[in-house]
Amino acid sequence: MTLRTMSDDTQASILTEASPPLLEVRDLNTTFATDAGTITAVDGVSLNVPRGKTVALLGESGCGKSVTALSIMRLIPQPPGHIERGQILLHDAHASTTATESHVGETPLDLLGLTEQQMRGVRGNRIAIIFQDPMTAMNPVMRVGAQIVEAIELHRPLRGKAAVAEAVALLRDVGIPTPEERFACYPHQLSGGMLQRVMIAMALSCEPSLLIADEPTTALDATIQLQILGLLRSLQAKTAMSILIITHDLGVVAELANYAYVMYAGRIVEHASCSSLLTHPQHPYTQGLSRCMPRLSDRKHRLDIIPGHVPDPGDWPTGCRFHPRCALTAERAGLGDRQTTSTPTSEGSVVLRRCIERYEEEPSGQPPLYEVKPNHFAACWELDT
């Protein structure tokens, strides 16, 4: 079958002119200078976050998810990091130069074109972020309430007792009991779950349009994880904010997200609505992640694993970056020609380890995103055979 491919401008999702997303990331490329040379951690990533919805960025550790989030926030340390190219467009009337602009036809704010001082007005105010380990993200010698008050006074016209009252109200909103007492605690006096709630309260203190949650439940036990996810869901319903959640857990995707992007080795390899992605994963990597999930209906089944590990950004495999770990590689190990055929490229000959890569279409040998089902895209050469 012949499948439709997507250009960089439309990789994220299909949009209507009347309803732009809150956030558009277009062809983002982030590199780091190392002793061994320049490595690319995020390679041509495009994604969209609609208004009032939750989008998941899914993948194993080391695939580039957190670097993508930090690039959106402009928190990549420079040097050694550098955002080489791309656009990060915020369609937010509050962030526009004209506050009365409507969503339709508004001029988006390109975060990569802002000065550092201008970006400080966006961070925390229009886009907030929470991290997976709140203990390392908070000042250990400041009371938690004072840290929330600091954020409120920086971005909102509240001072003194009014800011303190707002901070206590926020602690109450995120489900912290006796918030007046917790306000005066230091971070080490609170549990991991309590600290994560404090971080969420701090992130919401300036009523952001977008919340980026980077593995917010990883360091918590299963019961607290569910509580935090439920809290995010209820807060979103109350405030209509958008959420970009970074995770390696398909269970988190199923619980919270409306749409999901699967990332591997610095690139988006599949994206679709969560219902389509979870029930009919198309890319071999997404299928592997799905097989790693425990199922109550089959308690005796031994969980599968994806062999190997995410490759080092300084040594990406040629062609499809997943092929050294792909289940189809093992299945085709004895197919002779497909494993030994050598195809000339501008950089010399490349041994094809699995599928027939079309160098006349894509000289790098990396498969583009194909629309395998309506609004369901995956990057795999096997999907166009």
Please answer whether residues 66 and 81 qualify as being in contact, where contact means their C-beta atoms are separated by less than 8 angstroms: no
3-state secondary structure of 233: helix
pLDDT(14) > 60 = no
Maximum distance among all Cα pairs of the chain, rounded to whole angstroms: 75
pLDDT(29) > 80 = yes
Q: Please name the residue ranges forming H helices in 129-273.
A: 134-137, 144-155, 160-173, 179-182, 192-204, 222-239, 250-256
Query: Which residue in this structure is represented by tokens 């029930």?
Result: 279
Q: How many CA atoms lie within 13 A of 227 on its CB side?
A: 14
Cα 128 from Cα 162, distance rounded (Å): 22
What domains lie within the chain, and their CATH numbers?
A: 4-135+205-279 (3.40.50.300), 136-204 (no CATH), 292-384 (no CATH)
pLDDT at 11: 45
Please answer whether residues 166 and 158 qualify as being in contact, where contact means their C-beta atoms are separated by less than 8 angstroms: yes
Residue 256 in tokens = 């919270």
pTM: 0.82
Which residues are CB-neighbours of 251 under 8 A, at least 6 positions away? 293
Q: Report CA Rg, the chain.
A: 22
pLDDT tens per residue, range 188-239:
998 888 888 888 888 888 888 999 998 888 777 788 888 888 888 888 888 8
pLDDT at 358: 63
Average pLDDT for 46-72: 92
Average pLDDT for 125-148: 87
